[in-house]
Structure 1
Amino acid sequence: MDIKEFNDDLLAFLTASCTPFHAVEQITQRLDVAGFTALREADEWQLGAGRYYVVRNGSSIVAFNVSDKDPVSSGFRMIGAHTDSPCLKVKPQPELQGEGYFQLGVEVYGGALLNPWFDRDLSLAGRVNFKDKSGAVCSALINFIKPIATVPSLAIHLDREANKNRTVNPQTDIPPLLMLDAADPVNFRELLLAQLLLEHPVCAAVQVLDYELSFYDTQAAALIGLNEDFIASARLDNLLSCYIGLQALIADDSQNSVLVCNDHEEVGSTSAVGANGPMLKSVLQRILVSDKDLSRSMDQSMIISADNAHGLHPNFADRHDGNHGPRLNAGPVIKMNANQRYATNSDTSSLFKHWCDVAGEPVQSFVVRTDLGCGSTIGPITASELGVKTLDIGVPTFAMHSIRELAGSCDGYSLYRVFQQFLAATDVGVKAV
């Protein structure tokens, strides 16, 4: 896969992956084409050498290669990322009708940068649970695709301090506007039922029971810049890492290797499908059979937590430590924090630098300014759950948690090449002398 093919498919993946459910759907489609076998957690597994994946809740996935090497003695090469991004989620009773308009009440998911959500062409997607004609409770994904909503800004004439001191009240300022008010009260579930039958005409749905729906920006992912130096897209944090890890896993099956893409990272990872839940450990135990084997295997294993890094913003360079300002298209970033907000240590960072050297790719480092707080990732969580060597890295990005983020158009492919070296590595240990 060359960089053009990589970026073309990446753009398609980002545009189609408008919710975690749709992201996992896109991942499974690519795994199926690559010859991976879908497993169900409820079934007994008979795992010979081969390629497999398992999905939980439709929003988290673990895909893995079982090689001819004994995983107890050779360990696993693992890559972790997350499928969720900050967004606006529709409330259970969302109908808002007044002043001649129909709006939907929303809840902010994760640490969203709210101002960029104004004046965008928004659509709606996610999972709908319904009852069919037989009385069975079913679920299906829907995606309105076309722009059906917007959050209009207040004109500056009505807020003269808007460019100096405008704040966003998430309860009152951001309910999206969908249409003029109808003569009769609008039932949102009836609107969903119509969309469900439009997208899935054979589903025989008769009643919408519940849903998990998110608004998203309809502008497609794109290469931008005078020389197409940048990728602009929603949800780069962290679907970019999911895609890079996916392509690396597909490209190499020489070792026992794993890709885990968890939901709920943006809200703390504590769920049945989050990194602080049992999913990854459960899959590894089923590959290895016994807890004793898991402990032995983890000693020979390593996981790379891939989550975007803060690039040095040319307009706000003072927000970075002077010696640790990653630049776009200058290579993947090793993320370090003395207080274990990132799980990198000198062993794991040295190994990553070695694989960058072998791949012929540059590498950068990020440490947050000492007078600023530091975010975190699934890295420390997974390290504490499994007791495995862990590294935190990411592709440098601008506008993280905005409705549209920016990354370098070369950095994703660069990290893909380094991941190939990692997944093919015969040893992930550092020799003590």
Structure 2
Amino acid sequence: MSEKKTDLTYETRNCWDVYAAPKDRKAMDALAARYLEFLSACKTERETIEYVCAKVQKAGFKDDLGHDMVWRDMRGKTMFLARRGKRPLSAGVRLVGAHADTPRLDLKQHPLYEECGVGLAKTHYYGGIRKHQWFARPLALHGVVVRADGQAVVVNIGEDAGDPVFTVLDLLPHLAYGQMEKTVTNAFEAEKLNIVFGHEPRAKKAAKGKDGAASDEKNRVKGRVLDMLNAKYGLVEEDLFSAELQIVPAGAARPVGLDGSLIGGYGQDDRICVFAALEALLAAKAPEHTQVVLFWDKEEIGSEGATGAKSLFFEYCMDDLARAWEPGARLSEIFLNTRAVSADVHGALDPDYQDVHEKLNSSLLGHGPVFCKFTGHRGKVGANDAHAEYVGFLRNLLNRAGIPWQMAELGRVDLGGGGTVAKYLAAYGMDIIDFGPGVLSMHSPFEISSKADLYATTLAYREFLQS
């Protein structure tokens, strides 16, 4: 007869207590150091997928379904990874899916202009930003431009110590009384998120057209910006129509706090899950079930397009994998037997804004990755609501492994809400739940996570992939 459990209540465990042993702290510090490097280098979805591709190829993954460890990418923005398991594909796979995109400012198609002696670039924000957080801070320009000759030119300005940076101008307080009386939504207009690109005009002797006539004196600053882009990258203004140029916070991710126990940096929603899932996959050997890890684009704008979770890229990959590894296996059988995790971050309880949370059902930073049984908003609209049987399987899996975890919702019922890729995978009939570390200052240019949560999340994903 099994021993009766005497403690009938449940409390979360602090990861710092669970992983107090020197060997755990050493492993935690090493993981955090790698993560800081990753977060500093990968500020766009293209840069993230390029990083992942280099890592998996070094680990032996091939772009060839004849191998047991395979990878495929879609437009350099989405990636499919698989490692063959001992059981056939028809027994289902263990799937972890995260997204590689993050809120930012994109340059418009006609970006460059000048006003008041300043060269500027117009932007259109991508994803759920709070506009006021992007003013008066150093910014960098990342992306790719495809020239008329078809050559793709990679742009990265603002990250090296010798680089100039960019910024969005803010209004001085002496003239901002009217602005301060408005709501935050009305005080900060999207059309004023314009990037400072330059100030020095072309020399007057260079301000003549090909026919020798004087060019427009009002556009000398814009002209010099174009001169510099042409000299450095061979670009002309028309090339900006075939460009994906993103404005992101400049500078490296950093440890936060006197003890360095927190990690601060841009894009942790959801690149912390991308990193943890990649580390887990590379460390998980000889799986029972085939392991699949997916990194998507476009989650922050509804998972649309050819590289988002709504696309058929995942289905195409699984169909080709079945043809190569188990001819005759039906996709419906594979999907219905699959267990999946939507690896996405959770809004941790903010010490300064506790009133927007329902504290009994909130997550704490440092207490491990968070299961979110459903997302959606106001009455669970747009949610994947994970089945009780699957939640039971997962909690027992992590309890047996001694990995801390917690269960929470995102904010108070009438205030909170959000969405992830979970509902798009649930459409295939597979079991899936949202599961990832808590983050503070989410969607800001400087998000905060816990080193201990990163460590526990990586172990949890590895345990799931090996289950």
Residue 308 (structure 2) pairs with residue 274 (structure 1)? yes
The Cα offsets for residues 98-139 of structure 1, whole Å up to 9 and x where unpaired, read as: 10100100001111122111121111011211244xxxx132
- SS of corresponding position for 1:347: helix
After TM superposition, give the deviation of residue 323 of structure 1 in Å: 0.9
User: Residue 329 of structure 1 corresponds to which residue in structure 2?
Assistant: 366
Matched to 2:134, the amino acid is W
1:86 and 2:103 correspond: yes
Q: Tell me which of 130, 146, 168 is aligned to 1:113.
A: 130
Verify the 8 A CA contact 2:369 2:404 in the aligned structure 1: yes
Return the alpha-carbon distance in structure 1 between the equivalents of residues 240 and 340 of structure 2. 41
Task: Give the RMSD, CA atoms, in angstroms.
Answer: 2.2
1:46-80 per-position Cα deviation (integer Å, ceiling 9, x unaligned): 424x211111111111111123431112x111100
* Number of the residue aligned with 2:255: 223
Distance 1:407 1:6 in 2: 13
What are the Cα deviations for residues 222-264 of structure 1, in whole angstroms up to 9, with x where unaligned? 1111222211010000011100111111111323111111000
TM-score normalised by structure 2 residue count: 0.82
Moved more, 91-100 or 357-366: 357-366
Deviation at 1:306, TM superposition (A): 0.9
Q: Secondary structure at the match of 1:341?
A: coil
- In 2 relative to 1, CA 175–298 (structure 1 residues): closer, same or farther, beyond 3 Å? same
Aligned to 2:413: 370
**CA–CA separation in structure 2 for the residues paired with 1:379 and 1:214:** 27
Residue in structure 1 matched with residue 32 of structure 2 by the alignment? 7
2:351 pairs with one of 303, 311, 314: 314
Could you tell me the TM-score, scaled by structure 1's length?
Answer: 0.88
Identity of aligned residues (%): 24
Residues in 2 aligned to 1:271 and 1:207: alpha-carbon distance in whole angstroms: 23
Aligned counterparts of 1:192 and 1:155: Cα–Cα separation in 2: 31
Cα pair 1:147 1:218 within 8 Å, conserved: no
Structure with bigger strand share is 1
Instruction: Give the helix-richer structure, 1 or 2.
Output: 2
Unmatched tracts of structure 2, length 5 or more: 1-25, 203-219, 375-379
**How many angstroms apart in 2 are the aligned matches of 1:140 and 1:31?**
24
Aligned AA (1:97): E
Aligned equivalents of 1:262 and 1:94: distance in 2? 27
Residue aligned with 2:50, SS: helix
Equivalent of 1:102 in 119, 124, 127 = 119
Aligned partner letter, 1:143 = N
CA shift, 1:352, in A, is: 2.1
What SS class does the counterpart of residue 323 from structure 1 fall into?
helix
Residues 359-398 of structure 1: matches in 2 within 5 Å?
359-368=401-410, 369-384=412-427, 386-398=428-440
The match for 2:322 is: 288
Provide Cα deviations, 1:316-336, integer angstroms capped at 9, x if missing partner: 111111311211111110112
Task: Count how many residue pairs are aligned between Structure 1 and Structure 2.
Answer: 405
The answer to whether residue 166 in structure 2 is matched with residue 149 in structure 1 is yes
Q: Which amino acid aligns with 1:316?
A: Y
Aligned to 2:275: 243
Rg bigger for which structure?
2
Match of 2:392 in 1: 350
Aligned to 1:47: 66
Q: What are the superposed Cα offsets for residues 381-412 of structure 1, whole Å, 9 maximum, x if unpaired?
A: 1211x221111112111111111111111101
Equivalence for 1:201:
none
Quick check: 1:254 aligned with 2:267?
A: no
Residues 322 and 373 (structure 1 numbering): CA distance in 2 closer, same or farther, change over 3 Å? closer
CA contact (8 A) 2:249 2:266 kept: yes
User: What SS does the corresponding residue of 1:371 show, helix, strand or coil?
Assistant: coil
Between the aligned partners of 2:415 and 2:169, the Cα distance in structure 1 is 33
Cα distance in 2 for partners of 1:247, 1:157 equals 50
8 Å contact kept, 2:65–2:321: no
Per the alignment, residue 88 of structure 2 pairs with 70
* 1:46/1:84 CA distance change after superposition, 3 Å: closer
- Asked if the contact 1:21–1:127 (Cα under 8 Å) also holds between the matched residues in 2, the reply is no
Conservation of the 8 A alpha-carbon contact between 2:339 and 2:430: yes
Q: Following superposition of structure 1 onto structure 2, how do residues 30-41 of structure 1 map, counting pairs within 5 Å? A: 30-37=55-62, 39=63
